[in-house]
Amino acid sequence: MTSHVSAALAPGGDIPAPHIEYGQIMPILLVLGVAVAGVLVEAFVGRTWRYTVQVPLAFLGLAGGFAWTIVLGLRDETHAVAAEGALGVDGPTLFLQGTILILALVSLLLIADRGTGSFAAQAAALPGSEAEQRTTAAGIIQTEVFPLLMFAVGGMLIFPASNDLLTMFVGLEVMSLPLYLLCGLARRRRLLSQEAAVKYFLLGSFSSAFFLYGIALLYGYAGSVKLGDIAAEAGRDAGSETLLLGGIALLALGLLFKLGAVPFHMWKPDVYQGAPTPITALMASCTLVSAFGAMLRVFFVAFENLTWEWRPAMWGVSIITMIAGAVIAITQTDIKRMLAYSSIAHAGFLLTGVIATSREGLSSTLFYLAAYGFTTVGAFAVVTTVRDAGGEAGHLSRWAGLGKRSPLIAGVFAFFLLAFAGIPLTSGFTGKFAVFKAAVEADATPLVVVGVISSAIAAFFYVRVIVVMFFSEPEADGPTVVVSPATAAAVVLGLAATVVLGVLPQPVLDLAGHAATQMFVR
């Protein structure tokens, strides 16, 4: 009785079902599905069992997604857009998604570590209140961290894969919102953590607004939010230049904020310092990879014909990012803040690869991202192990003489720092070499000169930390080193990757090169 009525009433007829390539976007679906399953676990599993259910679930989700990505990468198919053109599944995307998933797995090792207890027992309790003490004493763990983590990772997978700006914006928000929350959940120094969360949230929503504004202007220019359409419109040199340039500027601003490039870097030190260290590790590795992936896609696809317009500005941003990151880092006395500025400087190095806009630039940036991600996760894992009565010993002076107290941990950390500095036989050297080579080939030699100089400046403060650790007397009540198996595993993984990518980089370089051969689909 209803069928003929609805047929008669709907003038356009039935809406045909959209065609979704489930196989191609399965990693994303898997991770988001596990996140939703995690929410169900929170709702239906008893408090005592939640942790034991959540952790394997999250591990399985990330590992499954990673395995599926590898399978997708092994099949030699022509890459194509998926899900009604919303996502591009191509070589660079798969490489980035694989990198994000494996780095998230390593971060999960840190997050799931109960021994270090980085997360607040009850986020809603006032810092220092009785309720907080009671929940802490009861040994309660806020297991909502795991679904939030999976949501964030899902967003990170979508962000660099999105083939249109709307999907990209949604991916950006799915990635950012859980991270804002996770930043405020540190167990120690709650006020600092909450301040970091609020700061990140406010500045992040500001940058999202700019991003959205840019999308609006570009839509006005091209009449479409698809990256390919924007490129085609720009190639025809039609439409209004003003809209286009305004759009590029605002879009780039939103992306550069997520990377933490100077002058949009203000949030990074505060947030990295305040957030629970496992979350800092996640942000320093996965978020950076994801944001650079999106940056690459936008600049390589949508603005490919406009290099003359955006290159000068990006040159400037890259140069001040490298220099400011390296110079300000010298004055830092907190380990996590120092690593944050180091991350800013590395964002500058990575930008030189983006500016190259060549196949080599793409592949070298991909390699650098993977190498840097592993090193930084390992470094933050080490930071979680050096503890005193108040939690992690953040201040640099507390690390004095660590080499005598715990030579192994200090040695590992020193190695990570050398990798950041780009000493040969570490992955940092290979990455920087690849990126700078691509930049030189793309006639950006001045950039490379600046890069080398700021690398030298950066090396100064890395070496300073090594000196403090090995060549000064330990304090009497200095911090102790507590290494639990999960953290140790994370450190070992980071170390292994840093060594292997430094000594035998060719397979991964080939992989990145292979991923970059077809460039991005559109």
Residue 3 touching other proteins (CB under 8 A) = yes
Q: Which one of residues 26, 67, 70, 125 is an interface residue with other proteins (CB under 8 A)? A: 125
Q: Looking at beta carbons only, is 166 or 313 nearer to other proteins?
A: 166
- What would the two tokens of residue 305 be? 């014909």
Residue 200 touching other proteins (CB under 8 A) = no
Residue bearing tokens 């990635």? 175
Q: Looking at beta carbons only, is 63 or 249 nearer to other proteins?
A: 249
| 3-state DSSP assignment of residue 472 | coil
Residue 138 touching other proteins (CB under 8 A) = yes
CA 436 to chain centre: 22
Residue 236 touching other proteins (CB under 8 A) = no
- Give the separation between CA 446 and CA 464, rounded to whole angstroms: 28
Count of residues that interact with other proteins, criterion CB under 8 A = 68
Please state the closest distance from residue 147 (CB atom) to other proteins, in A: 6
Residue 144 touching other proteins (CB under 8 A) = yes
Tell me how far CA of residue 71 lies from CA of 23, 55, 76, in angstroms: 10, 24, 10
Residue 442 touching other proteins (CB under 8 A) = no
- Give the separation between CA 335 and CA 228, rounded to whole angstroms: 43
**Alpha carbons within 13 A on the beta-carbon side of 189:** 19
Determine the interface stretch with other proteins among 132-140, 273-281, 282-290, 338-346 (rule: CB under 8 A).
132-140
Q: Which one of residues 58, 72, 110, 185 is an interface residue with other proteins (CB under 8 A)? A: 185
Please state the closest distance from residue 29 (CB atom) to other proteins, in A: 10
Q: Looking at beta carbons only, is 138 or 467 nearer to other proteins?
A: 138
- What would the two tokens of residue 39 be? 């929410």
* Phi, psi at 222, each rounded to 5°: -100, -15
Site string for other proteins, 4-43 (x = CB under 8 A): -xxx-xxxx-xxx-x-x----x------x--xx--x--xx
- Give the separation between CA 255 and CA 172, rounded to whole angstroms: 9
Residue 308 touching other proteins (CB under 8 A) = no
Nearest 10 degrees: Cα torsion 28, 29, 33, 36: 70
Please state the closest distance from residue 2 (CB atom) to other proteins, in A: 5
Give the list of residues 6+ apart from residue 491 with CB closer than 8 angstroms, or none: 378, 381, 382, 385, 412, 483
- Give the separation between CA 393 and CA 465, rounded to whole angstroms: 14
Residue bearing tokens 């795991």? 146
Residues that bind other proteins (CB under 8 A): 1-3, 5-7, 9-12, 14-16, 18, 20, 25, 32, 35-36, 39, 42-44, 46-47, 83-87, 121-125, 131, 134-135, 138, 140, 142, 144, 147-148, 151, 154-155, 158, 166-167, 170-171, 173-174, 177-178, 180-181, 184-185, 217, 220-221, 239-240, 242-243, 246
